[in-house]
Amino acid sequence: MRIKMAETIGEMEKTTVLIVDDSPDDLALISVLLKDLYEVKIANSGGQALKVAMRGKTPDIILLDIMMPGMDGYETCRLLKATPETLNIPVIFLTAKTDIEDEMKGFELGAVDYITKPISPPIVLARVKTHLQLKRVQDYLQDKSAFLEEEVQRRTKVIARTEGALKESEARYRQLFDTSPDGIVLVGPDGCILQANIAQGQMYRYDPPSDLIGVHATQLVALSSRDYSVQIMRRRLNGEDIQPVEYELVRKDGTTFFGEISATILRKSDGTVSGYICVTHDITDRRRAKEEIEALNAELEQRVLKRTAQLEAVNKELESFSYSVSHDLRAPLRAIDGFSETLLEDYGQMLDDQGRDYLDRVRRAAQHMGRLIEDLLKLSRITRMEFQGEKVDLSALVRSVAEMCRQNNPRQVVDLLIQEGVVVWGDSNLLRIAITNLLDNAWKFTSHTTHPRIEFGVTVKDGKAVHYIQDNGAGFDMANINKLFDAFQRFHSANEFPGTGIGLATVKRIMDLHGGRIWAESEIHKGATFFLTLP
């Protein structure tokens, strides 16, 4: 596309001028006149002019003689203007005719000017230059017009696509607006509702939803929440980012419900507020469920308080029972054992062997009953002990208890293995009681083993530390494992391995107080392993 008009001599030299005249002298004269400024082509007849104009480079201007034999200038001009390729070439007639009718005929055929013969060189140069400039302007304007027409068509298509996309977007927005389960309203800058969706109408019981149009938004907020809602909107207007807020809202019929409202402020390009979009989510069911949970929690708390009071009363009764056991039950047992011992010492020679055996049995039974009562009291005291958590060197604790077991059983030589550096979090006093019971059992149940061996260590199972005490003693039948940690449960006869059956129940209770676990694995005559986990 041409967007500049060429006016320099250099650009003019590129311009082509076609001279058509049957007079050789006129052809020569005009050619000489123009050849230094333009590229000159010549033709001596109308037919030849048409061929030259259609062949090669199209002329930029044609100087056409009217009076020619055969095809005159008028006919030649008519044919040039009838051909699309030469339609826009400016034609200047060369003629000796000066009648107005002749000039009018030429202009009607499409000529742009006349040069009268005999020609005047300055006039020829001026007319050619002027009409070439006019043609350049015309070409520029035509090209510019074509460009503008293309641009208009392009922009028209863009606008059409944009309008189509906008309509599609509006349709999607309308669909979302109408089908949203939450209430949506468009509020003007004055606070009055401009548009409301179906859910908003149903939520606030406006039927049809268009009845909401013109209603001030604050009228949908109950008096209990109205001042608060105004404060929240002011904070939003000041630029504060506020999450959806709960309000008590009021329906058209005056009933209230609870909703969660989020608001978006709409602003013009100059920053002034043009309106608001408010979305309401009905949280009545959620709030009711919350209130029910709070009521249930309050009820549970009361139950806990009541149960705690009951447990405290039971503990007091247990303390009273423990005192009674300590004094009222053990005193007769001590009397039985004491008098039986006196009988044996003072009157034993008066009794036969059977009588002395009976007294020995009475004493053993009384002593066993005393130990049983003592173990029960210990178990009861453990339940009431206050947990005191601290870091405990379990390896050192095991070594200390094992030394005590050695002293209590000097004739029993045990191969003892203790893993060093095992530290746990727990109550050192309670853990000492638990380890004492477990090591006492290990010592007791390896007493009949030729080469007794006891091991303490820690391993890892499922990512957790598991502590264990393992022996190679008598073991037990795993068929009864579910009863192993119950009080008074014994898997061996009292004659073979004496005891009260309270020890493992005590250990289980201590592990429960720590929030840990205890379990065991065993095989008869191959020993037992007790596993402990601590939080």
Q: Check residue 381 and give its pLDDT.
A: 64
Q: Write the burial class of residue 186 (CB in 10 Å: 0-12 exposed, 13-18 middle, 19+ buried).
A: middle
Q: Check residue 90 and give its pLDDT.
A: 93
CATH of domain 9-148: 3.40.50.2300
Specify the long-range contacts of residues 39-48, CB closer than 8 Å, at least 24 apart: 39/13, 39/14, 39/15, 40/16, 41/16, 41/17, 42/18, 43/18, 43/19, 44/20, 45/20, 45/69, 45/70, 45/71, 46/20, 46/70, 46/71, 46/72, 46/73, 46/75, 46/76, 46/79, 47/71, 48/20
Q: Which helix (H) or strand (E) holds 344?
A: helix 330-347
Q: Check residue 5 and give its pLDDT.
A: 42
Q: Could you tell me what percent of the chain has a pLDDT over 90?
A: 30
Question: Does residue 510 sit in helix, strand or coil?
Answer: helix
Over residues 169-194, mean pLDDT: 84
Q: 């006019």: which residue's tokens?
A: 134
**Which is more confident, 98 or 156?**
156
Lowest-confidence region among 18-22, 397-401, 472-476, 490-494: 490-494
Q: Check residue 11 and give its pLDDT.
A: 45
Residue 264 has pLDDT above 60, yes or no: yes
Q: Report the CATH fold assignment for 388-533.
A: Heat Shock Protein 90 (3.30.565)
Q: How many Cα atoms occupy the beta-carbon half-sphere of 438 within 13 Å?
A: 30
User: Average per-residue pLDDT in the chain?
Assistant: 84
- Residues 71-108 as b or e (16 or more Cβ within 10 Å = b): bbbbebbebbbeeeebeebbbbbbbebeeeebbebbee
Beta bridge partners of 278: 185, 263
Distance in angstroms (rounded) separating the CA atoms of residues 49 and 55: 10
Q: Check residue 318 and give its pLDDT.
A: 56
Distance in angstroms (rounded) separating the CA atoms of residues 193 and 191: 7
Q: Check residue 43 and give its pLDDT.
A: 93
pLDDT band at 382 (very low <50, low <70, confident <90, very high): low
pLDDT band at 363 (very low <50, low <70, confident <90, very high): confident
Over residues 348-367, mean pLDDT: 78
Domain ranges of the chain: 9-148, 180-282, 288-362, 388-533
Lowest-confidence region among 80-94, 140-154, 449-463: 140-154
Q: Check residue 10 and give its pLDDT.
A: 42
- Residue-wise pLDDT for 302-334, tens only, equals 888 888 777 666 656 655 655 555 556 666 767
Over residues 216-243, mean pLDDT: 88
Over residues 13-42, mean pLDDT: 89
**Which is more confident, 397 or 441?**
397
- DSSP string computed for 35-103: TTTSEEEEESSHHHHHHHHHSSSPPSEEEEES--SSS-HHHHHHHHHHSTTTTTS-EEEEES---HHHH
Over residues 87-94, mean pLDDT: 92
Residue 259 has pLDDT above 80, yes or no: yes
Q: Name, of 94-108, 160-174, 259-273, the range with top average pLDDT.
A: 259-273
Over residues 269-287, mean pLDDT: 89
* Dihedral pair phi/psi, residue 92, rounded to 5°: -110, 120
pLDDT band at 368 (very low <50, low <70, confident <90, very high): low
Q: Check residue 495 and give its pLDDT.
A: 60
Q: Check residue 119 and give its pLDDT.
A: 87
- Residue-wise pLDDT for 454-498, tens only, equals 999 999 988 899 999 999 988 888 887 888 787 666 666 556 666
* CATH superfamily membership of 180-282: PAS domain (3.30.450.20)
Residue 3 has pLDDT above 60, yes or no: no
pLDDT band at 513 (very low <50, low <70, confident <90, very high): confident
pLDDT band at 12 (very low <50, low <70, confident <90, very high): very low
Q: Check residue 9 and give its pLDDT.
A: 39
Q: 């000492």: which residue's tokens?
A: 432
Contact 98, 129 (CB under 8 A): no
Q: Check residue 459 and give its pLDDT.
A: 93
Q: Could you tell me what percent of the chain has a pLDDT over 70?
A: 87
